[in-house]
Structures are given as C-alpha cells and as structure tokens.
Amino acid sequence: MLYRDIHVWSTSQCLITRLESLEAGAKDKSDFERWQSEMRRRDTELELEEVERRRLEGKISHEEAIIARQNIVEENRQRVAEMKEEVSEELCACAYVMN
C-alpha cells in the first residue's frame, strides 16, 4: 500500500513538473512530432508529384518523337511524289520532241 502511494505521488510530481514547465514556455514534444510528420508527408507528396511529372514529360517526349517521325515520312512521300511528277513531265516532253 505504501509503495502504491509513493508511486502515485511520484507520478503526480512528474505531471506537476511537466505542467509547470509547459506553463513556463516549454514546447510540447507532440507539437514537434506533428510538425515533423507533416513535413515528411509533404516531402513524400512532393516526391511523388516529381516522379509523376517526369513520367508525363517522358510520355510527351515519346509522343513528340512519334509525331516528328510521321512528319518526316510524310515530307519524304511528298518529295517522292514531286520527283515522280517531274520525271513524268520530262519523259512526256522528251516523247513529244521525238515525235
């Protein structure tokens, strides 16, 4: 019984000391832990946003490369068509001159 009374008194003294120190301006550890947890959450969120941004940039770059390749193929087709037309006209002109 005496041990229990001493334990209750000791616990009460610790609590009183803690409350007095908080009253005097000491910071509660839980505030720091809450802030630290929030900062870690924000850091993780920012990191995930950065990963997603890089993924999307890569996807856009890939799409742009596909479009550029399609444009080159189309330009080459147009050049070939123009060259065929020129050759055809030249052949027609030669055939006309020969007749």
The CA-atom distances, in angstroms, between 26 and each of 8, 12, 38, 82 are 24, 19, 21, 84
pLDDT of the residue at 19: 72
Residue 52 CA to chain centroid, in angstroms?
3
Q: Classify the C-alpha dihedral 81-85-90-96 as positive or negative.
A: positive
Count of H-run helices and E-run strands, the chain: 2, 0
Query: Residue 4 pLDDT more than 80?
Result: no
Residue 16 confidence class, pLDDT cut points 50, 70, 90: confident
Query: Residue 53 pLDDT more than 60?
Result: yes
Query: Residue 89 pLDDT more than 80?
Result: yes
Query: Residue 1 pLDDT more than 70?
Result: no
